[in-house]
Amino acid sequence: MGELILNGLFAVFDPANLVSIFVGVAVGIVMGALPGISVTLAVALILTFTFGMGPTPALFLLLGTYVGGIYGGSISAILIRAPGTPASAATVADGYALARKGRAGEALRIALFASTIAGIFSAFILLFLAPQLAKVALQFGPPEFFALALFGLTIISNVSGDSVVKGVIMGMMGLFVATIGIDPIGGFPRLTFGITNLQGGVSLIPALIGLFAVSELVNRAQVAHLEVEEENTVTDTKLPFSTAIRHLKTALKGSAIGTFIGAIPGTGSAISAFISYNEAKRASRNKEEFGKGSLDGVAAAESGNNGVTGATLIPLLTLGIPGDTVTAVMLGALLIQGLIPGPQLFMDHADIVYTIMVGLIFVNIVMYVMGRFAVRLFARVTSVPINLLIPLLLILSFVGAYAVNNTVFDAKLMMLFGLVGYFAPKYGFPVTPMLLGIVLGPIAEESLRQALILSDGSWGIFVTEPIALVFILLALASFTLPLLKPYFSGNR
C-alpha cells in the first residue's frame, strides 16, 4: 500500500494531471459561484471535455470541478445571498450577514479554510478506508451485489424526495431504461423499438445531461429575466491565522460529520452542511451569533459540505455504488474510460485508483491556493448574467450528449430525459433515483439473474447469504421506516 501511495504521489505531478487539477478547480469554483449552476450540472458538462483524455487527467478534471464547485458555491452565498449550490445553503445566513457588515473577505477566507481542512480530512479517510472496504467487497458474489444495488436504490430514494415510494418508482423506471439494448447474458436485443442506435443501450451521459442539465437550464430560463437585487463587493478584510485557527475545532468536527455522512450513499453535501451547522450551533457558547454573522457558522457549514467530497467516493470506488448525483456522473466518467468501479478496480487498476485518491488531497491544496489568491477574481463571476449563460451551457449540453457516440440521436435522447427531469420533480418524483437506476441497472440485472441461476431459481439465496440478507434488510428498513415514522411520532 505504501508503495502504491508513493507511486500515486509521483503520478499526481505528471504535467497532464497537474493541468487537469488546476483547470478543474478553477472551472469548479467559477461554476459553483454562478448562482443556479449546481455542482452536478458543472461536473456533467465538464465531463464532455474528458472524452479524449486518459483516465487520471479526466478524473482529476472532474474531481477538481467537484471540490472547487462545492467551495465556489459559498462565494455567491456570501456575496449575493444566492447559494451557488444547494450545499452552500447553510452558509447563506452567516456568510451574507458578515458580508453586509463589510466582512465579506473574512467570511470567504474562513469558508476556504474550513473547506480545505474538510476536503483534506475526507481525502485521507478515503485513502485509508477505501482499500480495506474493497478487500471485504471482493468476497461479494451475485446475491450480495443485487442486494447492494437494491439497498443503494432505496436509500437514495429515501433521501432525495418527499415520498420514498415515488423515489423507488423513479428508480424502477431507471432500471427499466437500463434494460434497453443488448441483454447482458444472452446477447439478445431488447426493447429497442427497432432503432439501431438503441442496440447499445441508452447512453448514461445523454441521460444525465438531460435529467440534470437541460431540465435545470429550462427551469432557470423561466427566471432568467429577473435582475439580481443585491450585490456585495469583496471588501478585503483579512483573516489572521490566529483567528482562523480558533475555528479549527469546528472545522474538524464538520469534517468528521461530512465524511461520515458522505460515506453513506444517498445523503450528500447539503444534508451534512446543515447537520454540521446545527451541531456547531448546539455546541457553541455564542448561539445567539449564529444566523447574524458567525464565522463559526460559516466554518461549520463549509466544512460539513466539503467533508463529503472524498467520502462519497468510498462507496463509488469500492462497491460501484455512487454516493450522490455527482459521483453518479463520475461513475459515467469511469465507465467511459473503461474502468468498472467496484472491488475489482483496486486489483486491476490499483495504480490509477491510488493516484486518484492521493490526488484528491492535492486538489484540495490547489483549491486553497486558488481561493487564497484569486478570490476577488472568482467573486466577479457572480455578476455574470444567467440569461447569457443558459445558451452557452445548452450548446455544451448538446456537444456533451453528441460526443459520446458522435450521433445526434443521443442529443434527442437528452431532450427526452430533459422533459422527464423537468416535469417529474413538479409532481414529487425525484430524478436522482432514476439516474441511479440507469447506473445500477446492469449490475442489478446481471447479479439477480446470476444469483437465481446459481440457486436454481430459488429466491431464498438472498436470505441464506448473510451479507446479502443484511443489505436486503437495510433496503427494507430504508423503504419502510419513513412510512412508519408518523406512527412512532404520533403524528398521524
Q: How far apart are the first and last CA of the chain?
A: 53
228 binds another protein (CB under 8 A): no
To another protein, the closest distance from the beta carbon of 478 in angstroms equals 13
C-alpha distances (whole Å) from 100 to each of 137, 375, 484 are: 50, 18, 44
Nearer to another protein, 102 or 391 (CB): 391
Asked whether position 490 contacts another protein by CB under 8 A, the answer is no
If one asks whether residue 483 binds another protein (CB under 8 A), the answer comes out as: yes
- Interacting residues with another protein between 372 and 431 (CB under 8 A): 385, 387-388, 390-392, 394-396, 398-399, 402-403, 406, 408, 411-412, 415, 418-419, 422, 426-428
439 is a site residue for another protein (CB under 8 A): no
| Residue 380 CB, nearest approach to another protein (Å) | 15
DSSP code, position 86: G
What minimum distance in Å lies between the beta carbon of 156 and another protein? 15
Nearer to another protein, 283 or 408 (CB): 408
139 binds another protein (CB under 8 A): no
Reduced to 3 states, what is the DSSP secondary structure of residue 181? strand
CB 104, CB 237: distance < 8 Å: yes
Considering the complex, state which of residue 132 and residue 480 has its C-beta at the smaller distance from another protein. Answer: 480
Under a CB-based contact definition with an 8 Å cutoff, are residues 343 and 134 in contact?
yes
Dihedrals phi, psi of 190, to nearest 5 degrees: -125, 145
Q: What x-and-dash track marks residues 22-61 binding another protein by CB under 8 A?
A: ---------------------------x-xx---------
Looking at residue 427, the DSSP 8-state letter turns out to be G
Contacts with another protein, 327-366, as mask; x by CB under 8 A: ----------------------------------------
Smallest distance from another protein to CB 97, Å: 25
By the rule CB under 8 A, 485 interacts with another protein: yes
| Element holding 190 (H helix, E strand) | strand 189-190
In the bound state with another protein, the residue whose beta carbon lies nearer, of 78 and 180, is: 180
452 binds another protein (CB under 8 A): yes
Q: In the complex with another protein, which residue's Cβ is closer, 248 or 403? A: 403
Based on its alpha-carbon atoms, the radius of gyration of the chain, rounded to whole angstroms, reads 22
Going by C-alpha positions, the residue among 266, 4, 270 that lies closest to residue 130 is 4
Encoded amino acid at 223, one letter = V
| 279-318 positions binding another protein, by CB under 8 A | none
Complex with another protein: residue 373 or 427, whichever CB lies closer: 427
For the bound state, the minimum distance from the C-beta of residue 154 to another protein, rounded and expressed in Å, comes to 12
CB proximity list for 182: less than 8 A, separation 6 or greater: 188, 189, 190, 199, 200, 201
Give the type of residue at 217.
Answer: L
Task: Supply the minimum distance, in Å, between the C-beta of residue 107 and another protein.
Answer: 28
- DSSP class of residue 293 equals S
CB of 351 to another protein, least distance (A): 25
Q: Where are the beta strands (DSSP E) in 372-488?
A: none
Crossing angle of helices 325-336 and 432-454, rounded to 10°: 60
**Smallest distance from the beta carbon of 179 to another protein, in angstroms?**
5
CB of 480 to another protein, least distance (A): 9
The whole-angstrom separation of Cα 324 and Cα 326 is 6
Q: Is residue 4 at the binding interface for another protein, with CB under 8 A as the rule? A: no
Q: Which is nearer to another protein, 359 or 430 (CB)?
A: 430
Task: Kindly state whether residue 492 participates in binding another protein, applying the rule CB under 8 A.
Answer: yes
CB of 137 to another protein, least distance (A): 23
Q: Which of 185, 245, 377, 463 binds another protein (CB under 8 A)?
A: 185
The C-alpha atoms of residue 272 and residue 256 are separated, in whole angstroms, by 10
Q: What cell numbers appear for 227 in the block? A: 435582475
Which amino acid is located at 40 in the chain?
T
* One of 16, 138, 162, 240 touching another protein (CB under 8 A): 162
Is 224 a binding residue for another protein by CB under 8 A? The answer is yes
CB of 276 to another protein, least distance (A): 28
DSSP-derived 3-state class of residue 182: strand
Burial-class residue 263 by CB neighbours within 10 Å (0-12, 13-18, 19+). buried
Three-state secondary-structure class, residue 6? helix
Paired sense of beta strands 189-190 and 181-182, if any: antiparallel
DSSP 198: G
Q: How far is CA 287 from the centre of its chain?
A: 31
Q: Is residue 163 a contact point for another protein (CB under 8 A)? A: yes
Q: Which residues of 103-140 are buried (b: 16+ CB within 10 A; e: fewer)?
A: bbbbbbbbbbbbbbbbbbbbbbbbbebbbebbeebeeb
Residue range at the interface with another protein (CB under 8 A); choices 39-47, 77-85, 308-316, 477-485: 477-485
d(CA 36, CA 39): 10
The vertex-324 CA angle with 319 and 325, nearest 5°, equals 120
Q: Pick the binder of another protein from 172, 365, 474, 477 (CB under 8 A).
A: 172
Q: What are phi and psi of 181, to 5 degrees?
A: 115, -160
**CB closer to another protein, 180 vs 313:** 180
Task: Name the residues that contact another protein, by CB under 8 A.
Answer: 49, 51-52, 162-166, 168-169, 172-173, 175-176, 179, 183, 185-186, 188, 190-191, 214, 217-219, 221-226, 385, 387-388, 390-392, 394-396, 398-399, 402-403, 406, 408, 411-412, 415, 418-419, 422, 426-428, 444-445, 448-449, 452-453, 457, 482-487, 492
